[in-house]
């Protein structure tokens, strides 16, 4: 895994809020390295996880590297002292919403405006820049339905960070693996710089 990411405080990240949506693919564990590096560079990284993502990596992992609570449920109990729905608060406060990995299921659900998990729900409430880093089996990535959903997102202005090619968890070799973390970092930096 490519984890040689810059970690010193940087102008591009200092004071920025990044929403990091994590969906249920094996590449979910790689997102913790992104969250850690961006936190060290001065960003507030707020992680949102689908239930399926929590099967691959726990919310505690992200909470530990970001020092922020992790949203994994749209029905969580609110803290005393007032009520502001998590998805509205997170959506309003973020400079960028990145979903990495973005599974085929997530891409389809987001293309059609589903709002039954914290990642999709918050996506609907976020008005700023959005980026998706897809990751899945090579046959799934090539499927016309997945490509149609990706096209929908591109037409809506979503930055799609193309998956890489190589050995996949299922044993196949081809396109579909999560882009190298350095490439995701490079594109996120460019989006934050231009925002």
Active site residues: 170
Assigned token pair, 90: 């997170």
Kindly give, in sequence order, each residue whose CB lies less than 8 Å from that of residue 11, ignoring residues fewer than 6 positions away: none
Q: Is 15 left (phi over 0), alpha (psi -120 to 50) or beta?
A: left
- For the chain, how many residues are written? 195
Strands (E), the chain: 17-22, 44-49, 96-102, 130-134, 159-160, 164-167, 173-177
Rounded CA gap, 157 and 151, in Å?
A: 10
């Amino acid at each position: 895994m490519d984890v040689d990411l810059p970690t010193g405080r940087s102008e591009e990240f200092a004071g920025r809020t990044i929403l990091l949506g994590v969906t249920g693919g094996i590449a979910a564990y790689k997102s913790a390295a992104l969250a850690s590096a961006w936190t060290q560079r001065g960003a507030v990284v707020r992680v949102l996880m689908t239930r399926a993502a929590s099967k691959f990596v726990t919310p505690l992992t992200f909470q530990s590297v970001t020092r922020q609570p992790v949203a994994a449920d749209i029905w969580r109990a609110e803290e005393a002292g007032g009520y502001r729905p998590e998805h509205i608060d997170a959506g309003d406060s973020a400079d960028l919403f990145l979903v990495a990995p973005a599974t085929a299921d997530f891409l389809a659900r987001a293309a059609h405006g589903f709002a039954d998990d914290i990642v999709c729900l918050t996506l609907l409430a976020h008005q700023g820049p959005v980026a998706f880093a897809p990751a899945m089996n090579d046959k799934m990535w090539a499927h016309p339905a997945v490509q149609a959903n990706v096209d929908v997102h591109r037409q809506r202005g979503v930055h799609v960070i193309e998956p890489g090619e190589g050995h996949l968890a299922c044993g196949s070799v081809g396109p579909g693996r999560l882009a190298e973390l350095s490439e995701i970092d490079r594109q996120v930096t460019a989006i934050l710089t231009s925002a």
